[in-house]
Structure 1
Amino acid sequence: MFISFEGIEGAGKSTAMALLAEALRLRGHDVVETREPGGCSLGRLLRPILLDARTDGLSSRAELFLFLADRAQHVHSQIRPALEAGNIVLCDRFTDSTIVYQGAGRGLDPDALRRINLLATGGLTPDLTFLLDLPVALGLERAGIRNRREGTVISEGRFDSESLNFHERIRQGYLALAAEEPQRIAIIDAQQPADDILLQCLSATEEALRGRAE
């Protein structure tokens, strides 16, 4: 089973994913955790280029193809092999991020983005996606605190530094996707305590696993 986590900056995707991974392992499941960009060797080279606030003059299309190069290799070398081995794969960001960030955010054609995503992934889509949603101002505040604590204000702050209008477009883009695909995308209120978020993610995951077993 393939599960992705999506949301604006500071939504708490990484925390929710780690908590769900731990809970699933305690229930006897084999779980692989990964992320984009950076879930494979190519992605670890591309991540600093894509996320560093000092990256200057990167065009929207160049940005897009760097993300897609990471995704194509990530699926080939990490995600598909893990799924074929019977693991539950949890991924911090996947194709929805491209539709929203490069589409709603950068203004690229969303239909073209869907087609090129399918090419990059070989048709792989998540079985379940958790959209952690919260107000933009709160998300950016959380992201700023996290980056200052981890010392990544510059090295991973490129998207954080975008305008409030950009981040509002991202949030609305995610909510529009969730409205289009309610069977796949579960909206989680990211203002809730972490334990409550985990319970909702775990409940939805177990329901999906039962559905696959039937």
Structure 2
Amino acid sequence: MDTEVDRTQMTAKFITFEGGEGVGKSTQIKRLVANLIKREIEAVRTREPGGTPRAEAIRSFLLQGKSEQWGPSAEAILFAAARLDHVNSMIKPNLESDKWVLSDRFCDSTRAYQGLTGGVPDELIDALETLALNGATPDLTILIDMDPELAFERVRKRAAEDGLNLPPDRYEKENIEWHRRLRRNFLDISRSNPERFVVVDGTQSVSDMESDIWAKVSERFSELAA
């Protein structure tokens, strides 16, 4: 597992993590970045919406629910605006500097949340994606799949352990059936894009999930197993 990798044989990769609320994306991104760095592969982590000052400002606006009254189409446009800045100011420059980029959410979240779950037409989602991605298509997308009831129980337990009592954000406050539909939509997106997606069982322990993800990443990018 600690074999040194010949970086001269590799090109920087763009990996995205997707899934519902509370499935463990942030934890696993940190661990994958650490595993890459151990192998002398430069890697950075980021998130959506966010990743740049302008995109973080849009994130705050969205997650506080200030755009909810405008409807899912307006929210999709705001996500696209944040993504365009994120791609041009953070993602592409790092990839061009030979650094791997790992993002907590990307375009598939907009398609799942605002598109399939929120009812925004495919034509608008497709147009916004073409504009915002600007050619930055993920090399691999890791979908962490988990029953939303179990995921929210995990979130509540973690908050209690940390002594936190934060109000739910724009999407956490949706009812459980909304989140079940979201989960189904993520799985549908993954089945429609098998060349890019791998699905990981989110009910595993943190360490087991880390090992599972590393095995899947190594299988996809065979040079890591060298």
Q: Unaligned regions of 5+ residues in structure 2, if any?
A: 1-12
Kept after mapping to 1: 8 A contact 2:47/2:104:
yes
Give the superposition deviation at 1:73: 0.2
* Equivalent of residue 95 in structure 2, options 78, 83, 92: 83
Aligned pair 1:36/2:56, yes or no? no
Give the superposition deviation at 1:3: 0.2
- The answer for the alignment partner of 1:110 in structure 2 is 122
> Aligned residue pairs: how many?
213
Aligned pair 1:206/2:214, yes or no? no
Kept after mapping to 2: 8 A contact 1:144/1:153:
no
Superposition RMSD in Å? 2.2
- The answer for the alignment partner of 1:95 in structure 2 is 107
| Secondary structure in structure 2 of the residue aligned to 1:132 | strand
Give the superposition deviation at 1:150: 7.4
Q: Tell me the alpha carbon deviations over residues 2-42 of structure 1, each in whole angstroms, 9 at most, x when there is no partner.
A: 00000000110000111111111111110010000121111
Amino acid of the structure 2 residue aligned with 1:106: G
Amino acid of the structure 2 residue aligned with 1:102: Q
- The answer for the alignment partner of 1:26 in structure 2 is 38
Q: Distance in 1 between matches of 2:59 and 2:33?
A: 23
Trace 1:54-93 onto structure 2 (pairs within 5 A). Answer: 57-93=69-105
- The answer for the alignment partner of 2:10 in structure 1 is none
Q: Distance in 2 between matches of 1:211 and 1:26?
A: 15
| Secondary structure in structure 1 of the residue aligned to 2:22 | coil
Aligned pair 1:153/2:162, yes or no? no
TM-score normalised by structure 1 residue count: 0.91
Amino acid of the structure 2 residue aligned with 1:46: I
Task: Choose 1 or 2 for highest CA Rg.
Answer: 2
Q: Unaligned regions of 5+ residues in structure 1, if any?
A: none
Amino acid of the structure 2 residue aligned with 1:16: Q
Amino acid of the structure 2 residue aligned with 1:63: E
Kept after mapping to 1: 8 A contact 2:52/2:90:
yes
Q: Tell me the alpha carbon deviations over residues 162-197 of structure 1, each in whole angstroms, 9 at most, x when there is no partner.
A: 111211111000100111112211100000011111
* Equivalent of residue 189 in structure 2, options 152, 177, 181: 177
Cα pair distance change 1:137/1:119, threshold 3 Å: same
Q: Distance in 1 between matches of 2:75 and 2:218?
A: 36
Give the superposition deviation at 1:146: 4.3
Trace 1:179-198 onto structure 2 (pairs within 5 A). Answer: 179-198=191-210
Higher relative contact order (CA 8 A, sep 6+): 1
Aligned pair 1:51/2:63, yes or no? yes
| Secondary structure in structure 2 of the residue aligned to 1:28 | coil
Q: Tell me the alpha carbon deviations over residues 87-144 of structure 1, each in whole angstroms, 9 at most, x when there is no partner.
A: 1110000000011001122111234312321211113211001100010111122234
Give the superposition deviation at 1:206: 2.2
Trace 1:1-12 onto structure 2 (pairs within 5 A). Answer: 1-12=13-24
| Secondary structure in structure 2 of the residue aligned to 1:49 | helix
Q: Distance in 1 between matches of 2:59 and 2:81?
A: 11
- The answer for the alignment partner of 1:14 in structure 2 is 26
